[in-house]
Amino acid sequence: MISRKHRGARALSVVAHDVLIRAYPASFRAEYANEMRWAFSHLCADAIASRGLAGLLEVWIDTLVDFPASVIATHRERWQERAPLSWATPLMLTVLPVAVVARTMVDGADVAASFLHLSSVAAYCGAIRLWLAMRGATSAGQRIVFVISCAAASATFLRDTRMCMDALRQSPASIAIGFATIAVPVAAALASLRAAHAYLEVRKPIT
């Protein structure tokens, strides 16, 4: 039989868990809050019955460890369901920052601007692809947009490749500068989105 102290600890834990549940989207709470409360209450009761307050502490540790990623993943899932496809984020992450750098180097620096142009389009296509993957986009229209973006990148490369290759032949130093110019914005944009995608691939809340 659970003692009065243990019953109080369980009740307090359920109240505290109700506060945590408020971090989830309202639509999610409307569907699953009661089930989550019931499951957590029984989980606490089982832990107290088997190990007392130490078991309850373990339940809370596990809950708090999973809580941030679970909340973020749930918000992302709900956002995917109701939000239209947004091109603003990949655009801001790739094209605009690189365009600013290209603008500052445009005076007599056609080769650098060409490298930056290539890297911006490549990074834009990669960011768009990851953005679609993060949203779980599978529609034909979105895939067509991705193909068009890649085609634009290919056309840009064919147009600018002669200037880039001429620069590489004339100056070995241009090789390092060119690759660095391409690698930095591409790596920055794709690494940030890959990290976000990997972090958000977590198990959904127990309901």
Strands (E), 109-161: none
Position 203 scores a pLDDT of 45
Residue 87 CA neighbour count, 13 Å, CB half: 8
Mean pLDDT of the chain: 68
Report the 10 Å Cβ neighbour count for 32.
17
| pLDDT tens for each residue of 150-171 | 666 566 556 656 666 666 666 6
Helix (H/G/I), strand (E/B), else coil: 2: coil
pTM of the full predicted structure?
Answer: 0.42
Q: Alpha carbon 98 to chain centroid distance?
A: 21
CA distance 113 to 99: 9
Q: Which residue has the tokens 């445009």?
A: 106
Residue 93 buriedness (CB in 10 A; 0-12 / 13-18 / 19+): buried
| pLDDT tens for each residue of 2-47 | 666 777 888 888 899 999 999 898 888 888 889 999 999 888 888 8
Q: Which residue has the tokens 């920055």?
A: 188
Query: What own/partner pairs with CB < 8 Å and gap ≥ 24 does 171-177 have?
Result: 174/111, 177/112, 177/115
